[in-house]
């Protein structure tokens, strides 16, 4: 594939021509590929190259889908290592939403919640971890492959529970339609209000302020979901919180969003927990349990990082000991002459990963302990 860009149609003297060519060489370059789809849609993939950035392809690219005319394209940044099947899932969800915008069906959002049954049936839901003694179960959810969307996963899991649609927990099309719709809402509100730039949310990341906006703007979720990213915040919000049948909690840890729900059943109160990586955590009780899981996950992470570095042209021909040093010590990153904090490096030092995972799991354990202390003795409705 050849790329040719005409910088100017006006004839230039030699020196200005050289300056123009050299300026273009060092300027950021945005590449865009477009493909027409059935149904009158247009799909596009956008990648940006800039001097000093990572080797090709960049870690993230932007997927866009439009229906022609003046309508704004739906957009979402995705990891460049996504599979063809995963990209096809995103395009299918985007096509469905674009059709919805033109009145073909209702968009997945507000007003779709059903009344929650007092005794939700779990026959069709896989339980990946549980503690019968404490009446807490971790339900299997859709596996997260996009590294930025854990907040959207956590919210989707609660929506399924509140709608009494637990059989949709692993429905990938339902999930991506909801995510893309929510991302567009956040982008539109951010631009309109000046609260955040569009780029902040089209990457797929949803921080607490974004999740709170989505909950507060949905009348079916308001008052039924509580957000907390610290133990102190959860304690404060539990004071005086009355639960009629079911209440959801979006729980922010150091690097990841989880969700939980307190459900009042005829047999008493049960707590359901969700993690988009489906790592069994609700049976963790002691510090030894947590340290064991941290080391197990670090071993898996080490293998993935080694594989990722081997695929990077910058590292492909390095000796094995260089790769091992990078995996254990991390790969430094700099910005405008300043060394970034190691927790923000793409390849973090092993010790930083260990501490972050430990913080996540300790917070999960403490969040669950707090919910159990508050509701485990509730006799139910």
Q: Is 116's pLDDT higher than 60?
A: no
The confidence score (pLDDT) of residue 52 equals: 61
Q: Is 124's pLDDT higher than 80?
A: no
- In order, the DSSP letters of 358-372 are HHHHHHHHHHHHHHH
Q: How far is CA 270 from CA 135, 141, 239, 327, in A?
A: 5, 18, 19, 41
Residue range 121-144: mean pLDDT, rounded: 87
Q: Is 218's pLDDT higher than 80?
A: yes
Kindly report, residue by residue over 260-312, the tens digit of the pLDDT.
Answer: 999 988 778 899 999 999 999 999 989 999 999 999 999 998 988 898 888 88
Structure tokens at 286: 């002691």
**Cα torsion through 148, 100, 194, 229, rounded to 10:** -40
Residue range 93-107: mean pLDDT, rounded: 65
Kindly report, residue by residue over 48-75, the tens digit of the pLDDT.
Answer: 887 665 567 788 899 999 886 656 789 9
Q: Is 154's pLDDT higher than 90?
A: yes
Residue range 103-127: mean pLDDT, rounded: 50
Helical spans, DSSP H, in 194-258: 199-202, 208-216, 231-238
Q: Whose structure tokens read 């594939």?
A: 1
E strand or H helix at 198:
none
Upper half-sphere CA count for residue 356 (Cβ side, 13 Å): 16
Strand 225-228 with 246-252, pairing: parallel
Question: Running DSSP on this structure, what letter comes out for residue 332?
Answer: -
The confidence score (pLDDT) of residue 346 equals: 86
Q: Is 113's pLDDT higher than 60?
A: no
Q: Is 101's pLDDT higher than 60?
A: no
The confidence score (pLDDT) of residue 112 equals: 38
Residue range 172-200: mean pLDDT, rounded: 95
Length of the chain: 381
Q: How far is CA 161 from CA 73, 194, 269, 273, in A?
A: 31, 33, 15, 11
Kindly report, residue by residue over 40-50, the tens digit of the pLDDT.
Answer: 888 999 998 87
Strand 127-131 with 136-139, pairing: antiparallel
The confidence score (pLDDT) of residue 263 equals: 92
| Among 167, 171, 164, CA closest to 220 | 164
The confidence score (pLDDT) of residue 114 equals: 42
The confidence score (pLDDT) of residue 123 equals: 61
Question: Running DSSP on this structure, what letter comes out for residue 279?
Answer: -
* Global confidence as pTM: 0.89
Determine the distance from the C-alpha atom of residue 157 to the mean position of all C-alpha atoms in its chain, rounded to a whole number.
13
Q: How far is CA 149 from CA 47, 101, 109, 156, 317, in A?
A: 20, 23, 17, 11, 33
Average pLDDT, the chain: 87
Question: Running DSSP on this structure, what letter comes out for residue 28?
Answer: -
Q: How far is CA 135 from CA 275, 375, 377, in A?
A: 18, 11, 11
Residue range 366-378: mean pLDDT, rounded: 87
Q: Is 98's pLDDT higher than 50?
A: yes
Q: Is 219 or 124 the better-scoring residue by pLDDT?
A: 219
Strand 60-66 with 74-79, pairing: antiparallel
């Amino acid at each position: 594939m050849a790329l040719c860009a005409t910088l100017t149609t006006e004839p230039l003297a030699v020196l200005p021509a050289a300056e123009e060519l050299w300026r273009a060489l060092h300027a950021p370059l945005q590449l865009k590929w477009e493909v027409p789809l059935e149904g009158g849609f247009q799909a596009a993939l956008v990648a940006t190259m800039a001097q000093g950035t990572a080797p090709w392809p960049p870690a993230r690219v932007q997927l866009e889908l439009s229906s022609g005319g003046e309508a704004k394209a739906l957009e979402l940044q995705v990891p460049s290592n996504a599979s063809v099947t995963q990209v096809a899932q995103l395009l299918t969800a985007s096509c469905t939403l674009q059709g919805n915008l033109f009145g073909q069906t209702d968009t997945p959002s507000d007003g779709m919640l059903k009344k929650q049954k007092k005794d939700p049936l779990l026959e069709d839901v896989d339980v990946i971890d549980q503690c019968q003694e404490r009446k807490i179960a971790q339900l299997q959810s859709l596996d997260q492959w996009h590294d930025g969307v854990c907040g959207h996963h956590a919210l989707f899991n609660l929506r399924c529970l509140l709608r009494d649609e637990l059989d949709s927990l692993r429905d990938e099309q339902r999930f991506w339609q909801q995510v893309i719709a929510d991302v567009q809402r956040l982008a539109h509100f951010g631009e309109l209000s000046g609260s955040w730039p569009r780029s902040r949310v089209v990457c797929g990341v949803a921080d607490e302020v974004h999740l709170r906006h989505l909950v507060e703007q949905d009348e079916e979720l308001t008052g039924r979901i509580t957000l907390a990213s610290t133990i102190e915040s959860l304690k404060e919000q539990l004071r005086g919180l009355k639960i009629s049948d079911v209440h959801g909690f979006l729980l922010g840890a150091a690097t990841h969003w989880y969700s939980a729900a307190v459900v009042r059943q005829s047999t008493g109160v049960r707590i359901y927990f969700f993690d988009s990586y489906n790592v069994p955590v609700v049976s963790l009780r002691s510090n030894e349990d947590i340290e064991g899981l941290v080391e197990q996950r670090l071993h898996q992470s080490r293998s993935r990082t080694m594989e990722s570095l081997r695929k990077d042209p910058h590292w492909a021909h390095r000796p094995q000991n260089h790769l091992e040093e990078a995996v254990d010590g991390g790969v430094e990153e700099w910005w405008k002459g300043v060394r970034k904090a190691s927790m923000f490096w793409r390849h973090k030092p092993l010790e930083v990963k260990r501490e972050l995972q430990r913080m996540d799991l300790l917070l999960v354990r403490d969040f669950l302990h707090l919910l159990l202390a508050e509701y485990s003795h509730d006799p139910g409705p």
